Amino acid sequence: MTTAPREIDETAEKRVAAHEPVTGIDLPPEASEHAPIHHDLVRAHTVTGLVGLLFAATFGLIVATKFSAPEFLGDTEVGSWGRMRFAHVQGILYAWLMNGFLAFAYYAVPTLSGRPVRSRTLGWVIFYVWNIGIVALGWTFVLLGYSQSVEWGEFPVVVDVVTVLAFLAVGVQFLHPYLRKPRGRLYVSSWYTTLALTFTPAAFVIGQFFPEYLTPGAMGAVISGLWIHDAVGLLVTPLTLAIAYYVIPATTGRPIFSHFMSMVGFWSLVFFYPLNGIHHYVYSPIPMGAQKVAIMASVFMGIGVVVVVTNLLASLRGNGYLAFWDVPLRFVWTGIVFYLLVSLQGAFQASMRVQEQIHFSDWVIAHSHLAMAGFASFIIIGGLLHAWPNVSGRTVNRRVANLAYWVATIGLVTMVVYLTIVGLQQADAWTSGAPWIESVVVSETGWLVRSLSGTALFAAFVLLIVSLYKTPVDGPGQPGRGVDREDAGASR
Amino acid sequence: MNHEHDGPDPAAPEVGAKAVDPGSDHDPRWVRFLERGETIMLLGGVGSLVFSFVALGVLPLISLRGEVTRSTPEEFTAMTAQEEQGFTVYKREGCAYCHTTFVRDTPSDVRRFGPPAEAWEYQDQYPQQWGTRRIGPDLSRESGARSDGWHYAHLYDPRSTVPQSIMPGYPWMFSEAVDGTIVPDEDAEALVAYLNYLGRDISESGPQTERGRNAMNGHAGTSHGGTDEHE
C-alpha cells in the first residue's frame, strides 16, 4: 500500500538553493478563487493566541515561583496558588492552543477543501465569543473564585455553556467546506480536523457536566479521566498533527511519505486514544478491568504514534536540510520529535509497576509540559510562522524567530529533564518511608530550575511576537506579496 | 545566509488537496470510503466517542453503582451543611491540585496513609476531587489525625507548623479580633470541618470491600491514619 517514493522535486531544490520561497504543491488556480482565505481572521487569531500565551505563561511562572517562594503574591485570594493554576491550564488550552488551531484552520481549510469556510461573519463572532466569552470571562471567574474543580475544565459552568456553543459554531465553520468537497475525499490534515471538531463538542459536554451533576465520586473520576485524555488526544493532538501534515509537504514540495501509514496512524488514534483516560486513576476503586484496558490502550497508542512520526519524518526524505534553514519547518520537525518522546514516555508511565512508584510525582508534570509546550506548541508555532508571510504581507524576521527557537528548545528540554529528575527523587522519598516533607525538600533545586526554564520559554514567546513584525514585503520583484487573497480574488 | 521568505508565495498557487494527496482514483474502494468526511465524522468522531464512552464510561459506572450499593456501611453519613461548605472551599482553592484524596491499594500508600479508597466513600462528592498530583500528602484519612487548632495555624501560616512546607497560606480566611488574636472565619471553620470529615466513615466501619481488606491484611498493624507522616 505504501506509495513509492516519487521523483525528487527539482523545482523545490532549485528554489531552496536560490533562497526562493518553496511553494507547496500546486492547487488549480480556479479552486483558490472559489476558496478565499480570510487573512484577517488568520492574523487576529495568531496575534491573540500569542498574546494569550504570554498571559497563560505568566500564570504558569507565578505558579512555579510559589514553589520556591510560597509567600510570593500570597496575601490576596486573587493571587493564590490554586487560582493561578486554574488560569494557567485553561489559558494554555483556550487562549493559546485553540487560537493557534483556529488561525491555522482559517489558513489551511479553504485550500485543502477547495471551498470557503462557512462565513466570515461567523468567523468574527467566533473570534469575539472565544476570546471574550471564554478566555477573558473564564480567567476573571477563576481568579475571583468561581471555578469548577474538574481537571482541564476549571472554567465555571456558565463559561462551559459558552464553550459548547462556540465548539458547535467552529464545527459548522470548518466541517461545512469538507462536507461540500467534490468527490468527498479528504487529505490527511482534513481527517484530523474533521475528527477533532466532531468528537470534541460531545466529549466536552460529558466531561464537564457529568462529574458536576450526574456522576459523583468514583463514577465522576471515570468520566474525568476520559475527558483529561479526550482534550489532549482528540482535540489538541489531531489539530496539531493536521498542521504537521500540512507544513511539511508545503515546504518541501513533495507529498507525504506513505498514504497507508497516514491511515494506520489516524485510525489507531481514533480507536486507542479515547480509551486512555483512566490510566490517571490506577490502583483506585475504579474497576480493575477498566484500568487495565486503559493501560493497554496507552501502549497501543504509543505504537500508533511511532507510525505517525515515521511517516512525517520520512516525508522529509532528501529534504531534511530544509529544517536547518526554514525556521517554521524546524519548529514542526522538533515538535514531531517531542511527540515521539512524549508518547513513548506516556506509554511507559501508564504501566502499573511504574505508576506505583512515580505517579503523583513531577515526572508526570514533565510529561504534560513535553506534550503541550513541546509537541503541540512547537508545531503550532511552526504552522503560524509558515502562514504568516502569506496572510500579513510581512516576512517573519528569521533571525529573531531562530533565536526564539533555540531559547524555547533549551528552556523546554531543561524543564523536562529537571522535572524528570525531581519526579524520581520524589518517588524515591515516598517509597523510602521518610517523613512526607522530605519529598518537598529534595525538590527545591529542581523547582528553582523549573522556574528559570519557564522564564526562558516566556522569553521565547516574546521573541516570537517580535519576529512577526518584520518590514512589509511588497517591493519590486515580489508582486502580489501582502495582497489580501480575498481582495485579489474579487478583482480578478 | 538570508532566507527570509520561508512561506509559500501567496501570488503563486498554493498547497492543494489534489496534488498533496498521494492517493489516487485507483485506490481500492475502502480507502476512498475511509477518506470521506462523512465517514470520519460518523465512524471516527461519533463512533469512537460512543465506543469509548460505553466501554470505559458506562460499563465501569454500572459496576461502580452496584459496588457502592453493596458496600456502603451503616456508619455512612452524608456531609453536613458545614462540611459541604468546606468541600466548596476545598474545590474553589484548588486543594486537589496538590493533595490527593484517594489512597491507592499499593503497599507504600497503605503503609503511609491507611485503608485504600473505596467507591462508597465518595458517593456525595460532586465533582470528585481525587487529584492526579501529590505535592502535599493525601488527605483522605485526615479525620481525627490532628487538632482543629493545628489546622487553623497551618491554614493561616503553613510555615508555623511545618517550617519547610511550601503550602500557600490562606490568611484572608481569618480575621483579627478586638484583643488582637487571629480567629477563623466561616470558610476556614468549614474547611477544617471538611478535613475532619475525610475518612471518618471508614475509620469507624473499616474496609468494606475484599480489595480493601486484602490491602490491609498485607500491612496489618501499620495503618492508623498515618498521623505522624505529615510533619
pTM: 0.89
Over chain B (231 residues), the average pLDDT of each successive run of 10 is 36 40 67 89 95 96 96 93 97 96 95 95 95 96 95 96 96 93 96 96 93 82 43 40
Q: Is A477 inside any structural domain?
A: no
- For residue B87, the one-letter residue type is F
- Alpha carbon of B87: minimum distance to chain A alpha carbons (Å): 11
Residue bearing the bigger pLDDT, A259 or B99: B99
pLDDT of residue A36: 86
- Whether B61 sits inside 8 A of A215 (CB atoms) is yes
Count of CB atoms within 10 A of residue B171's CB?
Answer: 16
Q: Which helix (H) or strand (E) holds A421?
A: helix A398-432
Q: Which helix (H) or strand (E) holds B175?
A: strand B174-176
ipTM metric: 0.89
pLDDT of residue B46: 96
Which residue, among A200, A199, A93, has the nearest Cα to A152 in the 3D structure? Answer: A93
Three cell numbers, residue B4: 527570509
pLDDT of residue B231: 40
Three cell numbers, residue A86: 486554574
Q: Is A15 inside any structural domain?
A: no
- Alpha carbon of A247: minimum distance to chain B alpha carbons (Å): 9
Which residue, among A414, A424, A420, A409, has the nearest Cα to A463 in the 3D structure? Answer: A409
Domain spans in chain B, listed from the N-terminal domain onward: 35-71, 81-206
User: CB of B33 within 8 Å of any CB in chain A?
Assistant: no
- Whether B106 sits inside 8 A of A283 (CB atoms) is yes
Report how many domains make up chain A.
1
Q: pLDDT category, A28, cuts 50, 70, 90? A: very low
- For residue B48, the one-letter residue type is S
Which residue in the set B13, B40, B127 is minimally distant from A212, CB to CB?
B127
How high does pLDDT run on average in chain B?
Answer: 86
Domain that holds residue A426: 35-468
pLDDT of residue A1: 37
How far is A464 from A479, CA to CA, in rounded Å? 26
- Whether A71 sits inside 8 A of B162 (CB atoms) is no
Three cell numbers, residue B211: 480489595
pLDDT of residue A233: 95
User: CB of A79 within 8 Å of any CB in chain B?
Assistant: no
Q: pLDDT category, A338, cuts 50, 70, 90? A: very high
Q: Is A135 inside any structural domain?
A: yes
User: Which residues of chain B does A74 touch, with a Cβ-Cβ cutoff of 8 Å?
Assistant: 168-169
- For residue B69, the one-letter residue type is T
User: CB of B134 within 8 Å of any CB in chain A?
Assistant: yes
How high does pLDDT run on average in chain A?
Answer: 89
Which residue in the set B13, B32, B128 is minimally distant from A217, CB to CB?
B128
The answer to whether residues A398 and A326 touch, using CB atoms and an 8 Å cutoff, is: no
Residue A355 is part of a domain; what is its CATH number? 1.20.210.10
DSSP state of B176: E
- Whether A249 sits inside 8 A of B32 (CB atoms) is no
Angle at A273 between CA A270 and CA A274, to 5 degrees: 85
User: Which residues of chain B does A396 touch, with a Cβ-Cβ cutoff of 8 Å?
Assistant: 4, 6-7
Which residue in the set B67, B91, B111 is minimally distant from A433, CB to CB?
B111
User: CB of B11 within 8 Å of any CB in chain A?
Assistant: yes
Q: pLDDT category, A475, cuts 50, 70, 90? A: very low
How far is A174 from B206, CA to CA, in rounded Å? 55
Three cell numbers, residue A315: 516525508
Place of cell 468561581: A146
Which chain A residues in 135-164 lie under 8 Å from chain B, judged by CB atoms? 145-151, 154
pLDDT tens for each residue of B70-102 = 999 998 999 999 999 999 999 999 999 999 999
pLDDT of residue A471: 66
Q: Is A13 inside any structural domain?
A: no
- Whether A70 sits inside 8 A of B19 (CB atoms) is no
User: Which residues of chain B does A290 touch, with a Cβ-Cβ cutoff of 8 Å?
Assistant: 56, 59-60, 63
B81-206: CATH topology is Cytochrome Bc1 Complex; Chain D, domain 2 (1.10.760)
Q: Is A487 inside any structural domain?
A: no
Residue bearing the bigger pLDDT, A181 or A392: A392
- Stretch A109-115: mean pLDDT: 87
- Stretch A383-410: mean pLDDT: 93
Q: Is A203 inside any structural domain?
A: yes
Q: Is A29 inside any structural domain?
A: no
Lowest mean pLDDT across A9-23, A311-325, A365-379, B175-189: A9-23
Beta-sheet pairing, B182-184 with B174-176: antiparallel
pLDDT tens for each residue of A348-359 = 999 999 999 999
How far is B57 from A223, CA to CA, in rounded Å? 6
- Our measurement of the distance from residue A347's CA atom to the centroid of its chain's CA atoms, rounded to an integer in Å, reads 19
- Whether B56 sits inside 8 A of A481 (CB atoms) is no
Which residue, among A87, A194, A189, A173, has the nearest Cα to A129 in the 3D structure? Answer: A173
pLDDT tens for each residue of A406-429 = 999 999 999 999 999 999 999 999
DSSP state of A148: -
Place of cell 465569543: A129
- Whether B6 sits inside 8 A of A386 (CB atoms) is yes
3-state secondary structure of A14: helix
Residues paired with residue B36 on neighbouring β-strands, in sequence order: A185
pLDDT of residue B25: 62
Three cell numbers, residue A299: 501502549
Side-chain-side CA neighbours of A353 within 13 Å: the count stands at 0
List, in sequence order, the alpha helices (H) in A183-286. 188-209, 217-231, 237-252, 259-272
- Stretch A380-400: mean pLDDT: 92
Which residue, among A143, A57, A132, A68, has the nearest Cα to A96 in the 3D structure? Answer: A57
pLDDT of residue A103: 98
pLDDT of residue A32: 59
- Our measurement of the distance from residue A319's CA atom to the centroid of its chain's CA atoms, rounded to an integer in Å, reads 25
Q: Which helix (H) or strand (E) holds A403?
A: helix A398-432
Q: Is A6 inside any structural domain?
A: no
pLDDT of residue A463: 97
pLDDT of residue A393: 83
Lowest mean pLDDT across A11-20, A189-198, A387-396, B114-123: A11-20
Place of cell 462557512: A118
